[in-house]
Amino acid sequence: MKQFLLLRASHDICQVEIEHIQTVARMHGLEPRVHLVDSQESLNSLEQYTFEFDYIYLASHANPDGFGDQQFFVPWFSFAHVICPLNMFTDRAVFLLACCRGGVEKVSYDIFAGCDRIQFVCGPRWKVTAPDLTVGFHTFIYNMENRRLQPNQAAERASHATGFDFLCYDRVEIERKPEFERHRGAIWEKQPVPVVQAV
């Protein structure tokens, strides 16, 4: 059975949203697991998982720099850098960023720069609500699992279903862009960015 990891990374994320996505995962033959990420310790504790996930769904508030809330905020690059060595996702895993601005190209650049094993990053380009996210990602998962579409095609269907742009970035395509190489070089020159915890 395919594995589905749902990361709850902001305290006020609606429980109904979490339950909806768990139900959607089960409906499509995916085994969902929920993990709260609200501290450095809880982020590090992802190493407890001894199997690989096919989907990683991040439910959080976010902006182009990172995700979290006033208690705990994680830069995108740091997130990818922390989870990369854990071997917790398949080589075809899709990262579903269920948060505002998760589909901004810079976000994919930061994540791909932080981990060379992550292949697909998908999310909405604009500010969205919980119903937009659940409908969009329900449509995405349906088209991936039932229709066997490519991630970018499934994202297009999610966009049509909600009226908001859901974008999916493929590492192979992004790595061809000179601006990505410049972005990755600039990040690594600064050394890995530490996880920032609000005080």
Supply φ then ψ for residue 103, to 5 degrees.
Answer: -95, 10
The domains of the chain are located at 2-189
Distance of CA 151 to CAs 32, 47, 188, Å? Answer: 19, 27, 28
- At residue 97, the 3 state secondary structure works out as strand
Contact 4, 32 (CB under 8 A): yes
Binning pLDDT at 50, 70 and 90, where does residue 13 land?
Answer: confident
Q: What is the pLDDT at residue 189?
A: 85
CA 187 to chain centre: 20
Would you tell me which CATH number, out of the four given (3.40.50.720, 3.90.226.10, 3.40.50.10860, 3.40.470.10), belongs to the domain 2-189? Answer: 3.40.50.720
Q: Say what the pLDDT of residue 199 is.
A: 39
Q: Residue 55: pLDDT band by 50, 70, 90 thresholds? A: very high
Q: What is the mean pLDDT of residues 68-91?
A: 94
Q: Tell me the average pLDDT across 83-90.
A: 94
Dihedral (Cα; 125, 126, 128, 134), 10-degree rounding: -10
Contact (CB, 8 A) for 73 and 197:
yes
Pairing mode of beta strands 53-59, 30-36: unpaired
Task: Report the chain's mean pLDDT, rounded to a whole number.
Answer: 93
The pLDDT tens digits of the residues spanning 140-172 come to: 999 999 999 999 999 999 999 999 999 999 999
